[in-house]
Structure 1
Amino acid sequence: MKILHLNAYYIDNHLYSQLYTILDADLEQRVYIPIKTDRKPENVVDLNQGELIFEKVIKPNHKYNYFRKIKEITNALIQKQAHQDIDFIHAHNLFTDGVVAYNLKKKFGLKYIVAVRTTDIALQYKYMYHRRFRAKKVLEEAEQVIFISPTYRDKLFQMMSDTFVSRISPKVKIMPNGINDFWLENLQNPSGKSLDKRVNLLYVGQIMQRKNVLPLIQALQKLNETTDKEFHLTVVGGENQYEKEFYNRFLNEIKSNDWVDYKGKIKDKEKLLQAYRHADIFAMPAKGELFGLVYIEALSQGKPVLYASGEGIDGFLEGRGVGVSVNPDNLEGICDGISQIVDSYETYRDFTKVVKPFNWNSIANLYKTMYQRNEQD
């Protein structure tokens, strides 16, 4: 088989390169990546049986003319002949890649599957009413519809009629993203011991508002003032280029708290592994989280997690005995969630069954089966 991947978000998400690299062993792949005219190719990987096609086709005025953007991406792809000799299409988001895939099906009869991402739901479908009709057409014509979490499936379905949901539900699949093999090769179980006076928490993520790092610090400040435990927080993560003012607020906030250790961005996996292992609890009550593989990385190192209820990771972790979900807008709730983990710390024993499904090799095999079955139908 030869697969055409449509991936408008490729250069901003390094997860995809891992998937394509694994699939490369068994499939021919062509990855079409429309990018802004002022961007350069990034995250380039060598595929023995495929190629990455970076196309500078997204213009500034496309921000205000969605349908023109789709038309120009489709035309550029056809002119490049990226659709030639293709057996099946994998569209990696709904409102850009999915609509292009739909156009290619109508013009050339190519079948496709489509993934629905967080921004498709929380931004595009929720607010861009004039685009909904086209998105529904994409979902109806797809062979399969992929969600990375049951939480996101439920969020989208709540905005749709029961009749439409019943039509597309039979072809919905839940397929999480995977973590790097490094974490699976270095698994560590929880200690099974109760915590002493000092409690070490870890946050790994960009320093940005929706990640809720400041409310986390405020909650720990309160716990330090009202309990007999000493709570310490290690923060790993770099500045978000679009939230410089928030980053400065964060730096000012931690100046007066000597129990906060800010490490900046850490790319070295060995150093990050040590940060996870030094911690007792992983805490990031983030809102609008795309998925949050850092939670799975933390669990791979035997660390229970504090996370926001109703987000993507919640659909995989709730009821699994690996941590506590909290209302990310409730400071008391964050405090209580941390206290619950501390009080029941010795009950956390083995997270292996929760972590193992987030394996790129297993996920790639599921995709290969999906491609082959749907192409033959």
Structure 2
Amino acid sequence: MKIAQICPRYDPDIGGVETHVKEISERLVQKGHAVDVITTDPTGKLPEEEIINGVKVIRFRSFAPGNAYFLAPQIYSYLKKQKYDVVHAHSYHAFPAFFAALARPGNKFVFTPHYHRSGHTFFRNLLHKPYRLLGKIIFSRADTIICVSEFEKGLVTEDFNVSGKIEKIPNGINLAEFENLKSQRDERGGKTLLYVGRLEEYKGVQYIIQALPELPEFRIRIVGKGPYEEELHKLADQIGVSDRIEWLKGISREELLQCYASADVFLMLSKHEAYGITVAEALASGTPCIVARGSALDEFVDGVTCIGIEGSDIADKLVESICVLKNNKFEILENQDELMNWEVVTYKIITLYEK
């Protein structure tokens, strides 16, 4: 099959959607399919076209105020001239999927919305109401909608009345990568908290920093980059914990795996998640997690290997939860049995394409 994957950003950018598209695209190529990833580059610094691990990546310059929206109408013009067996668009929360839905140059149009209903900021949340009209067009034109969690499936069903077209296929992880890490878990030393992801206000990294004065034996390792990074640095300076924070970006996959393995607790306090790949990877590495309640992250919470916190005073509740976890001994993380390998995810998606 000739397949187009449409997404706001792609490798070397990082994030949940970026990881999802990269993992399935490269496996589709390995299985003999031709894959074009059609995406955007707000900076204009990345190659307009290149091959990454067999995947043809085509980038269009986009307008992305606040690192959002990724408005690139050139995607529509390009797709109108192409012909694909399947067009698979990703992310309700940016414009590339809308342009793909309008152009629809494939026999079949698949949509993975990674939907969490609200915007990441007050302003973006306001824009979501008029944008809902455009969103309905994407959902109405999709032959099949793939949701990555029961939480997302419930939101999509409630907001767009498309339950008959929904298939649930969760995000995956590379389970083989974590086999050796699990055996090393008991050998970790020190007290390290870990966050991996984009640095956006809604991700809640500020609460982790605010909790550090009450956790004198802990350091935090923050892996990622994003528009909220400067504010986080200022906060760390103001409360005097900068010397206990390690900021990492652009690290290799092997280095990231070691970060998971060496952490005592993984933290993800995001308010808006359709799945939570980094939480799944932390659990697979044998590291207990603390997450914010109220999104798809709820599905990882079991009260033992993954604790959920909610409401106000997040920093205080975080301190309490960390104290609980550091006194527990884990022989096995039961959630691992529920994690799906990317190979299985790709097989399910190919089956869907062929249907």
Matches within 5 A, 1:139-150: 139-150=139-150
CA contact (8 A) 1:30 1:52 kept: yes
SS in 2 for 1:287: coil
Output the TM-score relative to the length of structure 2.
0.79
Q: SS where residue 345 of structure 1 aligns?
A: coil
| Aligned match for 2:305, one of 322, 330, 338 | 322
Alpha-carbon offset, residue 174 of structure 1: 2.8
| Conserved? CA contact 1:322–1:351, under 8 Å | yes
Give the Å deviation of 1:92. 1.3
Aligned length: 343
Query: In terms of Rg, which structure is larger?
Result: 1
Alignment of 1:279-358 (within 5 A): 279-289=263-273, 291-315=275-299, 317-319=300-302, 321-327=304-310, 329-330=312-313, 331-346=315-330, 348-355=332-339, 357=340
Aligned equivalent of 1:237: 223
Partner residue in 1 for 2:108: 111
Alignment of 1:204 with 2:196, yes or no, is yes
> What is the distance in 1 between the residues matched to 2:343 and 2:289?
25
Verify the 8 A CA contact 1:211 1:289 in the aligned structure 2: no
Mapped partners of 1:223, 1:32: distance in 2: 45
Distance change >3 Å, CA 44–CA 188, structure 1 → 2: farther
Judged with a 3 Å threshold, the aligned counterparts in structure 2 of structure 1 residues 354 and 179 are, in CA distance, closer, same or farther, namely same
* Greater mean deviation of Cα atoms: 265-274 or 34-43: 34-43
| C-alpha deviation, 1:305, in angstroms | 0.5
AA aligned opposite 2:6 = L
Once the two structures are TM-superposed, the CA of residue 372 in structure 1 deviates from its matched residue by 0.5
* 3-state SS in 2 of match to 1:306: strand
Q: Which residue identity does 2:170 align to in structure 1?
A: P
Partner of residue 205 from structure 2, selected from 203, 213, 234: 213
The AA in structure 1 aligned to 2:10 is Y
On the 8 A contact 1:147/1:173 being kept in 2, the answer is yes
Deviation at 1:246, TM superposition (A): 3.0
Kindly provide the amino acid, as one letter, of the partner of residue 112 in structure 2: A
* Alignment equivalent of 2:34, drawn from 10, 20, 28: 28
Structure 1 74/265 Cα, relative in aligned 2: closer, same or farther at 3 Å? Answer: closer
Contact 2:178 2:284 in 1 (8 A): yes
Measure the CA separation in 2 of the matches of 1:37 and 1:53: 14
Q: 1:35 to 1:369 in 2, by over 3 A?
A: same
Distance 1:266 1:182 in 2: 23
Q: CA deviation at 1:271?
A: 3.7
Q: CA 1:284/1:101 → structure 2, altered by over 3 Å: closer, same or farther?
A: closer
Residue identity opposite 2:142 in structure 1: A
CA distance in 2, matches of 1:109, 1:202: 42
Distance in 1 (alpha carbons) for counterparts of 2:77 and 2:250:
41
Q: Give the superposition deviation at 1:126.
A: 6.4
Residues of 1 paired with 2:85 and 2:284: CA distance? 37
Q: Deviations over 1:279-319 (max 9, x none)?
A: 3222332333564422222212211101111233323x123
**Distance in 2 separating the partners of 1:183 and 1:2:** 30
Per the alignment, residue 97 of structure 1 pairs with 96
- C-alpha RMSD of matched pairs (Å): 3.8
Residues 2, 271 of structure 1: alpha-carbon distance in 2 compared, 3 angstrom cutoff: closer
